[in-house]
Amino acid sequence: MPRFSKNIANLRSSEIRDLMSLATDPNMISFAGGMPGNELFPIKLVDNIYNSLTEREKQAAMQYGPTTGLPTLLESLSDYLESKGLPVRNNRLIITTGSLQAIHILAKAFIDPGDPVLVETPSFIGALSTFRACEAELVTVPLHSDGMDISILQNRLDCNSPSPKFLYYVPNFHNPAGIIYTPEVKLQMVNLLRGKEIPIIEDDAYSDLYFYEEDLPKMRLIKEMDPEGIDVCFTGSFSKILGPGLRLGWMLVPDSIYRKCELIKQSLDACSPSLSQVIADKFIREGYIHTYITEVREEYKKRGLAMIETLESCLPEYVSFEKPRGGFYTWLKLPEGCDATDVLRKAIEKGVVFVTGKTFDPDGACNDHMRVSFCNTDIETIHRGIPLIAEAIRELYG
């Protein structure tokens, strides 16, 4: 038997993985996945892009590129992010192999085994898994409908010694909780962390998928505020606005952090896929990104509204949820004492799956929530599947 490292003892297979195999069963209705529906990918636009590539560009697509990204994509993405209000000029951009790699690189840059890091509960499972792989101690701050609990954050900062290495959070259309942080909470976070040498990792994978333009001012990122006295590491992704199969994300970080992250990325995979980068670059340059995002935003809104309507009409009144205003997820709260895994088992019997709450709990314990996605099911399937989940709940809890 080989002698494995101790540092991987923390890694565990998540329920999500097992669900994924169910989710691809064509007889199963899946509200489990966090991926776009296959039918929504911009296949025609990518065809246009591929067919417009010169021989030279195709060669570049097959070749190694610089560790931090192809210069042409760094340029077009910089312009794109700047047009959205991000402080591109006094920060540096790295293209990563999905935004999970960006989070992983930042985790490696800051975490030594045993180091505490601040995370929301519930939190994005991919980030938790990468922090665990770095042997971080996960210090949790509960999430409410306006963002993280500020008095508990304050308490964690006061009590925790050594002080946390960073704070990781998802500002908009939270995965799994679906919420938008209010400007007040973000401002209080900044005020609490300023001058404390605790960077913020701001993971913004969903912002483009808002239902209501009126929410935009509220959704302003901490990175956009560009606050003094605090390092903000902003991460983003092409997964929701082009396709996760390209495996492309990015980080926008201060120069001192950039230099460490570049070295770490070099030891991980040398560079991100050039073929994907060439396509993403053209996707931005040709302006396809705007037309495509507008299109999917409309579609996700239709699905989200259908989800809200169906949930409202068929859930027992003791199950509550925050109405999503964008993104991919609804987050249902069962009454105290109920167990989402019991509901899941019953739901599977009825041919439908979702993800249980404890999957997103850094402590793996709290299980009175259910994440029900609306990204990967059309309206008709929502109408068909949600009543089955409601039925499963009623059979268990009346």
Q: 14 vs 310, which CB is nearer to a second copy?
A: 14
Q: How far is the CB of 153 from a second copy (least distance, A)?
A: 19
Question: Which of 272, 310, 373, 381 touches a second copy (CB under 8 A)?
Answer: 272
Q: 41 vs 80, which CB is nearer to a second copy?
A: 41
Q: How far is the CB of 127 from a second copy (least distance, A)?
A: 10
Residue ranges in 39-68 that form contacts with a second copy under rule CB under 8 A? 39, 41, 43, 46-47, 50, 55, 58-67
Nearest to 120 by CA among 157, 164, 167, 156: 167
Q: How far is the CB of 25 from a second copy (least distance, A)?
A: 14
71-76 contacts, C-beta under 8 A, 24 or more apart: 72/278, 72/281, 73/277, 73/278, 73/280, 73/281, 73/284, 76/281, 76/284, 76/285
Contact (Cβ atoms closer than 8 angstroms) between residue 236 and residue 204: yes
Residue ranges in 5-24 that form contacts with a second copy under rule CB under 8 A? 5-8, 11-13, 17, 20
Residue ranges in 274-333 that form contacts with a second copy under rule CB under 8 A? 274-276, 279
Question: Which of 246, 307, 334, 386 touches a second copy (CB under 8 A)?
Answer: 246
Q: How far is the CB of 116 from a second copy (least distance, A)?
A: 12
Residue ranges in 164-203 that form contacts with a second copy under rule CB under 8 A? 165-166, 197, 199
Q: How far is the CB of 86 from a second copy (least distance, A)?
A: 19
Give Cα 102 to chain centroid, integer Å.
12
Question: Which of 69, 76, 86, 104 touches a second copy (CB under 8 A)?
Answer: 104
Residue ranges in 64-103 that form contacts with a second copy under rule CB under 8 A? 64-67, 97-98, 100-101
Q: 310 vs 359, which CB is nearer to a second copy?
A: 359
